[in-house]
Amino acid sequence: MAKFPYDIVGFDLDGTLFDTSRDLGVALNHALALAGRPPVPLDDVTRHIGGGASQMLRSALTESGGVDEAAFDGLQAELVAFYARNIAHHTALFPGGADMLDALDARGVKIAIATNKKEGLALRLFEEMDLLHRFACVIGGDTLGPGTSKPRPDMLHAMVERCGGGRAAFVGDTTFDTGAARAAGLPVVAVRFGFCDVPPDDLGADAVIDHFDHLVPTLERLGA
């Protein structure tokens, strides 16, 4: 087997590696009910997901009548607490995800997570799904402090450093991911099946894939 061109492959979490939409949607609707707002249909919740819990809640509130700033922080805390208690009822790897992780492992790649989800929530999800051991590092939106989440490059720089350095690529599904990768100087692959905030082919990625079966050969081509 030829040497794989990347030492590190990083992933966004929500909408990239995992379909978390239904668990996030249930938590969002819990918060909306507390605010006296109508629920978002679970099949339609993905368009609110992408920048973390705060952005998801703000997007849904804006659409249903506006944001009460005085109540927002408390409502967000309720959303996050509910989600933490119900984090893995419906969440699963996207199709082909398990085999893809195995393929990267077989090539000696360090697999990392850089997500705008809070670090504690990401760790809790991985622990409940017995997957934490698969990742060399997990960096959340609050890991490095305020003002460092995607689309800034800080999380991806930290990802490379914490994995011991080397050639890295990133995989995501939104402009937050492609923007961060571009700012960090990393090649980026977008997934067409994610929670894309613009059409996948308009994300500005180096490549777009339809299934995780295509990720390893795509990275080999990009890194050649």
Q: What is the DSSP string of 47-103?
A: GG-SS-HHHHHHHHHHHTT---HHHHHHHHHHHHHHHHHTTTSS-EEPTTHHHHHHH
Q: What is the pLDDT of residues 88-130, one digit of tens each?
A: 999 999 999 999 999 999 999 999 999 999 999 999 999 999 9
Q: What is the arithmetic mean of pLDDT over 44-49?
A: 88
Q: What is the mean pLDDT of the chain?
A: 95
Q: What is the pLDDT of residues 51-72, one digit of tens each?
A: 778 889 999 999 999 999 999 9
Q: What is the pLDDT of residues 190-218, one digit of tens each?
A: 999 999 989 999 999 999 999 999 999 99
Residue 2, pLDDT above cutoff 90: no
pLDDT given for residue 1 in this prediction? 57
| Rounded-to-integer distance, Cα 161 and Cα 184, Å | 12
* 3-state secondary structure (DSSP) of residue 190: strand
Instruction: Verify whether residue 12 is a known catalytic residue.
Output: yes
Let me know: does 207 contact 218? Beta carbons within 8 Å.
yes
* 3-state secondary structure (DSSP) of residue 137: strand
Exactly one of 7, 12, 19, 173 is catalytic; name it: 12
Cross-strand pairs, 139: 114
Q: What is the pLDDT of residues 134-180, one digit of tens each?
A: 999 999 999 999 999 999 999 999 999 999 999 999 999 999 999 99
| Rounded-to-integer distance, Cα 176 and Cα 156, Å | 12
Share of the chain above pLDDT 70, in %: 100
* Cβ contacts of 68 within 8 Å, gap of 6 or more: 35, 61
| pTM score | 0.91
